[in-house]
Structure 1
Amino acid sequence: MHYTGTIWRPPYEASSLLLEVTAGCTHHKCKFCTLYDDIPFRFRMSPIEDVEADLKEAKAQFRLWEQHKVIRTFLTGANPFVLKAEKLIEIARLVKMYFPENESIGCFSRVTDITLKSDEELKELSNAGYDGLTIGIETGDDEALQFMNKGYASSDIITQCRRLEQAGITYKFFYLTSISGAGNGEKGAKETAKICNQIHPKLIGANMLTIYPNSELYQEIQKGNWSEEGEQEKYREIRTLIEKLDIPVEFAALGASNAIPLIGTLPKDKARLLRILDDIIQNVSEEELQEYRRQLRHL
C-alpha cells in the first residue's frame, strides 16, 4: 500500500479501508499543527495508478478473510475533499469496482474544500457515496480562527455545512479545546455551541490542544503573544460546550490528547457527562493533568 508518513484517521474510522489519495495538507498554515511535519513536501495527490494498485492489493488481502466485507472506505490525507469533484468520483468508481459491497466513502475536509464545489457537484458526490466527512472546525471563536490562521470564519462553517446537508452529505466535527487561549476557553466554547446549534453535525469530537516545540504556536508563546489554558480550564471549557449544546449529537473525547475519555449522546447523556466533568474539575488536580500532558510524546 502506498502510505506516506503517519496515517491519521478518526477513532470511528478504525474498521474502514484506509486508502491514500493525498498526502500532506493544502493549507499547512495552522499555527498549532505539526501532524504532517514528517512529510518532505506540503501536499501531493496520489497518481490514480497508485490508488488502483492499492485497491487491488487490498482486494487480494481481504480474500483471505471470507467473512470480511469492506462497507466503508476512508481516504487518507489532511484534506482529500479538496480534490476536484470529477477526481473524487473517479476514485469512488474504482472503490466500487473492487469492492461492490462498499456503501460509503469518508475523508477529512477543510471548510474551504466544500466552498470549491458547486451545489450540483456536492449532490453528485453524495450520489457517488461520499458521506460522513470529518471537518476540523476547531472552534466557532472568530478571534481564535484568525489568530491560528485557519483560513475561514465561523459564518463559513454554517454556510458550507448547510450546503452539505442540502446535498445529503453528513459530517462530523473536530473541536480543539484550548484554541482560544488562557482565560478565553469558556467564551470559545459558547461561540462554538452557538455555531453548532444552527446546523446538524452527527458528532462533535473534542481533542485537547497539545503544543510541541516545532509548532509556530510554540514560537508565539515564547514571544508572549499567546498563553495556553491550564488543564482544569480545558475541562471547564468542555463542560461549557456540552452545557450550551442544544442539538441532538454524539459527543466524544477519545483521542490520546484527552487524559480522561468521554462519550455520550446529547441530550440523553448531557446530565451524566456534566457530572463526570464536575467530578474531574473538583477532584483531579492541575498537577496530575499537567503530568499527563507532559508525558504525551505523540498524538
Structure 2
Amino acid sequence: MHYTGTIWRPPYEAYSLLVQVTAGCTHHSCKFCTLYEDLPFKFKLSPFSEVRADLAEASKYYRKIPRIFFTGANPFVLSTGKLKTLAKMVKEYYPFYKTIGCFARITDIMPKSLEELKELRALGYDGITIGVETGDDESLTFMNKGFQSKDVLEQCRKLDEAGISYNFFYLTGIYGAGRGEVGAKKTAMLFNQLNPKIIESSMLTIYKISELYQEIQKGNWKEESEIEKLIELKTLVENLTINTRIVTDGASNLIQVRGNLPADKKKLIKHLEYQISNADEASLREYRVNLRHL
C-alpha cells in the first residue's frame, strides 16, 4: 500500500479501508495545525496507477468492504471528474461497496454544482468529514481557516440538497481565553441550522512548530485554561438543538463524551458539570503539555 507520512482518519472510520488518493493539504495555513508537517510538500495527488495498485492489493485480503475512506487532508478538492474516476476504480475491485468517505474543506465544495454533487452521491460519496472547527467568524479569520460561517451554511445546505451526509470536526479552545462560551454559542447557532450526523470534538493542543505558538509569544492570543475548555464544551452541548451524535474520541480530549442529542443532553451536561466541579487545572495542564502527538 502507498502511504505517505502520518495517515489521519476520523475515529469513526476505524473499520473503513484506507486508500491514499492525496497527501497533504491544499490550504496548509491554519495557525493551529501541525498535522502535515512531516511531509516534504504541501499537497500531492496520488497517481491513479498507485491507487489502482492499492485497491488490487487490498482486495486480495479483504473481499467485502462496505466503505472506503480516501486519505489526505482534503481529497474532496479534486475535480468531479477525478472523483468519479476514483469511484469507478473502487467499483472494479469492490463491486458491492456502499459508500466512500474522505476529509473535505468547505472551499472544496464551493466549485461543485448541485448536479455534480448529486452525481458523486450516486457513486457512493457520503459521510464526508469537514473540519469546520467553529462557527465564530472572528476565530475563523484569526486562525486563517479560509472561509466564514456563511460559507459553511451555504455549502452544507448544498450537501443536504444533494443527499450527501456530513460530519463536523469541532475544535474546543479555538476562541482563546475568555471567549469560549461566546464562541460555543455562536457555533451552536450555526450547527443548529444544519444536519451533521456526527460532531467530533477535539481540544486545541498547541505545539511550538505551529504559527499559533508564535502568535502567543507575540502577545496576540492567549490560550483558554483546561477548565475553560471543559466549560466551553458544556456550553456547546447545552445550546445544540439538532439531532446529532457528539463524541470526543481523540487523544487531545481531557475526558470522554459520547452521546446522541437531544436524547442524551441532560446526561452529558451532568457528566461535564461533574468533571468541571472536580477538575484540577494543574493536573489537566500536565496532560496537555505532555501530549506528544495528537
Given the two structures, how large is their TM-score scaled by the length of structure 2? 0.99
Query: Aligned partners of 1:297, 1:21: CA distance in 2, in Å?
Result: 27
The one-letter code of the counterpart of 2:73 is A
Please report how far the alpha carbon of residue 61 of structure 1 lies from its aligned counterpart in structure 2 after TM superposition.
Answer: 2.2
Deviates further, 284-293 or 162-171: 284-293
- 1:239 matches 2:234: yes
Quote the residue 2:276 is aligned against: 281
Counterpart among 217, 226, 229 of residue 222 in structure 1: 217
Query: Aligned partners of 1:101, 1:187: CA distance in 2, in Å?
Result: 46
- 1:249 matches 2:244: yes
Please report how far the alpha carbon of residue 119 of structure 1 lies from its aligned counterpart in structure 2 after TM superposition.
Answer: 1.0
Query: Aligned partners of 2:239, 2:208: CA distance in 1, in Å?
Result: 33
Report the secondary structure of 1:51's partner residue: helix
The residue correspondences of 1:75-86 to structure 2 (distance < 5 A) are 75-86=70-81
Report the secondary structure of 1:62's partner residue: coil
Cα distance per residue 1:59-115 (max 9 Å; x no partner) = 11225xxxxx20000000000000000100110011111011210000000000000
Cα distance per residue 1:247-273 (max 9 Å; x no partner) = 111010110000211100001100000
- 1:194 matches 2:189: yes
Quote the residue 1:213 is aligned against: 208
Quote the residue 1:148 is aligned against: 143
Quote the residue 2:52 is aligned against: 52
| Number of matched pairs | 294
Structure 2 unaligned segments of length 5 or more: list them: none
Quote the residue 1:272 is aligned against: 267
Check whether the contact 1:173–1:203 (CA below 8 A) recurs between aligned residues.
yes
Query: Aligned partners of 2:28, 2:46: CA distance in 1, in Å?
Result: 18
Please report how far the alpha carbon of residue 287 of structure 1 lies from its aligned counterpart in structure 2 after TM superposition.
Answer: 1.1
The residue correspondences of 1:74-223 to structure 2 (distance < 5 A) are 74-223=69-218
Query: Aligned partners of 2:229, 2:159: CA distance in 1, in Å?
Result: 30
Check whether the contact 1:82–1:116 (CA below 8 A) recurs between aligned residues.
no
The alignment-based identity, stated in percent, is: 61
- 1:30 matches 2:30: yes
Query: Aligned partners of 2:77, 2:62: CA distance in 1, in Å?
Result: 29
Quote the residue 1:17 is aligned against: 17
Quote the residue 1:66 is aligned against: none
The residue correspondences of 1:57-72 to structure 2 (distance < 5 A) are 57-62=57-62, 69-72=64-67
RMSD between aligned residues: 0.6
Query: Aligned partners of 2:118, 2:110: CA distance in 1, in Å?
Result: 14
Deviation beyond 4 Å, 4+ runs, structure 1: none
Query: Aligned partners of 1:259, 1:113: CA distance in 2, in Å?
Result: 31
Query: Aligned partners of 2:91, 2:280: CA distance in 1, in Å?
Result: 51
Cα distance per residue 1:24-55 (max 9 Å; x no partner) = 00001100000000000000000110100000
Query: Aligned partners of 1:284, 1:76: CA distance in 2, in Å?
Result: 37
Query: Aligned partners of 2:171, 2:129: CA distance in 1, in Å?
Result: 14
Check whether the contact 1:164–1:170 (CA below 8 A) recurs between aligned residues.
yes
Please report how far the alpha carbon of residue 293 of structure 1 lies from its aligned counterpart in structure 2 after TM superposition.
Answer: 0.5
The one-letter code of the counterpart of 2:55 is L
Deviates further, 6-15 or 280-289: 280-289
Check whether the contact 1:172–1:203 (CA below 8 A) recurs between aligned residues.
yes
Cα distance per residue 1:225-257 (max 9 Å; x no partner) = 000000000000000000000011101011000
Query: Aligned partners of 2:112, 2:19: CA distance in 1, in Å?
Result: 22
Structure 1 unaligned segments of length 5 or more: list them: 64-68
Cα distance per residue 1:176-198 (max 9 Å; x no partner) = 00101000011110010000001
